Amino acid sequence: MKTMLAVLFLALALPTALLADGDQEQARRAYEAGEIVSLGKVLDAVEANFEGEVIEVELEEEGGKWIYEVELLMRDGRVIELTYDAATVELRTDGPRIEAARKKR
């Protein structure tokens, strides 16, 4: 429950809370310019599509593009990493481990 509260708190904050101090201003400008979506939107996408508990989220810039990296702790103890495009919330990760973590519909 504590983890979920921490995640909910982070979901309400700007994504810059997840960055090192030197990167916060750059991420804040990207958010305000509409270049990236809020953390809440990414967490909504994770919750809607995947089993497991979010244990870590990072916002990073790679090659001029922002990405969210989300680590999920699965029920069997495995940790998987999901990578989302921070502008579109498009999942950029695939593979059998990712597919096994998807919610069954």
Task: Enumerate the domain spans of the chain.
Answer: 2-101
For the beta sheet containing 79-85, the strands, ordered from the edge strand earlier in sequence to the opposite edge, are 53-62, 65-73, 79-85
Over the chain, what is the mean pLDDT? Answer: 82
Tokens coding 70? 């989300």
Please tell me whether the overall predicted TM-score, pTM, comes out greater than 0.85 for this model.
no
Highest-confidence range of 16-20, 63-67, 75-79, 88-92, by mean pLDDT?
Answer: 88-92
* Fold annotation for 2-101: Nuclear Transport Factor 2; Chain: A, (3.10.450)
Quote the pLDDT of residue 4. Answer: 41
Above 90 in pLDDT, residue 81? yes
Measured between alpha carbons, how far apart are the two ends of the chain, in Å? 25
